Amino acid sequence: MGNKWVLVILMGLGTPSFADTIVTTYVTKVQEERQSTRWTLTEWLRIKERMKMMDVWLAMFSNPEKDAFKPELNLVYGITRGTMKYQGEATDDQDHAALNGAQARVQLWLTNIFTGSTGVRLLNIDFGLEAGGRQTADYDAETTTVFTKDRGISNRFYTGNFRIFGKNIQDSSLVLKVGQYQSKNSVPFLDTDNSRVLRRGMVAGAELQLYLFRWLGIEGNYLSFGKANAVADERDVTGTYYDYMAYIEVSLVRFLIGYYGEDWQFANDAAKATTKESGLFTGLKLQL
């Protein structure tokens, strides 16, 4: 190879343009080769980010060879200890009192039912069913001239759930929900005819759980209760429920503690009223 370069250099002495071409070509190729194998921090970060996005994309798709149909069950029970504030249209039409309650939820997940039954690679979106309810104790208002006793809240909902991220019930996941609810809220009504009316409407919501460690994480739930009214009642009712909690998980059992809130708005042609409830939530989840 050394003789070859000597010959090229000797030939190039008489032809400067040819020598310039050879030298330029050599420098260019050497630089390209060295740059292609050079390790840089920015390149490493770019490749790492690309690999992470590829992992997320692949995780969204099922693996027909491994993802067998595995039904899963979530059982949740919680206790709420909070305060409700009532506000009517008039400035003096307001009150507040402690309001304790309990709630329960059941989720049945048909995990991998589509992939396991068809054997076809599909988006990793799992389908589930949920039923939940909440019952409070009596609302004993501070001002008995505004409220009477034996008034509380009883809510139920039934939804179809779609888990769009997460492989199972004990994985970081995002769940979307849609369905129907029924509510019997007697706190803001003073007339006996409408105090026990059952109202129905549509409900939509979301649920997010994120593992910080294998045994520790955070969880949040949100439900939006759409407009509802009863045949014998002209009052429109809407509401929201939310909670956010930290949890410790031991095997199949999850211990929950956090904060919850539930707000309702009532309106008709004559008047409007709102109730705002918030407080401490403690609960237990069994994941089967």
- In this predicted model, what pLDDT tens digit does every residue of 206-226 receive, in sequence order? 999 989 888 888 999 999 998
Total number of domains in the chain: 2
Q: Which phi and psi (to 5°) does residue 212 adopt?
A: -85, -40
Is 102 part of a structural domain of the chain?
yes
Contact (Cβ atoms closer than 8 angstroms) between residue 137 and residue 152 = yes
Q: Which phi and psi (to 5°) does residue 146 adopt?
A: -95, -40
Residue 254: predicted pLDDT: 92
DSSP letter for 123, please. B
80's enclosing H/E stretch is: strand 70-88
Contact (Cβ atoms closer than 8 angstroms) between residue 179 and residue 203 = yes
Domain co-membership, 14 together with 109:
no
Note the helical H segments in the chain: 2-14, 16-36, 41-59, 113-118
pLDDT at 123 over 70: no
Is 234 part of a structural domain of the chain?
yes
Average pLDDT over residues 75-89: 86
Q: In the listed set 26, 58, 90, which residue is the last one of a domain according to the structure?
A: 58
Domain of residue 54: give its range: 2-58
* Spatial distance between the Cα atoms of 235 and 191, rounded to a whole number of angstroms: 13
Domain co-membership, 94 together with 237:
yes
Residue 265: predicted pLDDT: 84
Matching residue, tokens 């992470």: 52
pLDDT at 107 over 90: yes
* Spatial distance between the Cα atoms of 262 and 198, rounded to a whole number of angstroms: 18
Domain co-membership, 124 together with 21:
no
Domain co-membership, 156 together with 194:
yes
Domain co-membership, 34 together with 79:
no
Domain co-membership, 53 together with 158:
no
Confidence of residue 284 (pLDDT cuts 50, 70, 90): very high
94's enclosing H/E stretch is: strand 94-111
DSSP, collapsed to helix, strand or coil, labels residue 77 as strand
Which carries the bigger pLDDT value, residue 242 or residue 1?
Answer: 242
Mean pLDDT of the chain: 77
Q: How many CA atoms lie within 13 A of 264 on its CB side?
A: 24
User: pTM for the full model?
Assistant: 0.72
Domain co-membership, 165 together with 262:
yes
Confidence of residue 192 (pLDDT cuts 50, 70, 90): very low
Q: In the listed set 18, 34, 58, which residue is the last one of a domain according to the structure?
A: 58
DSSP letter for 192, please. T
pLDDT at 103 over 90: yes
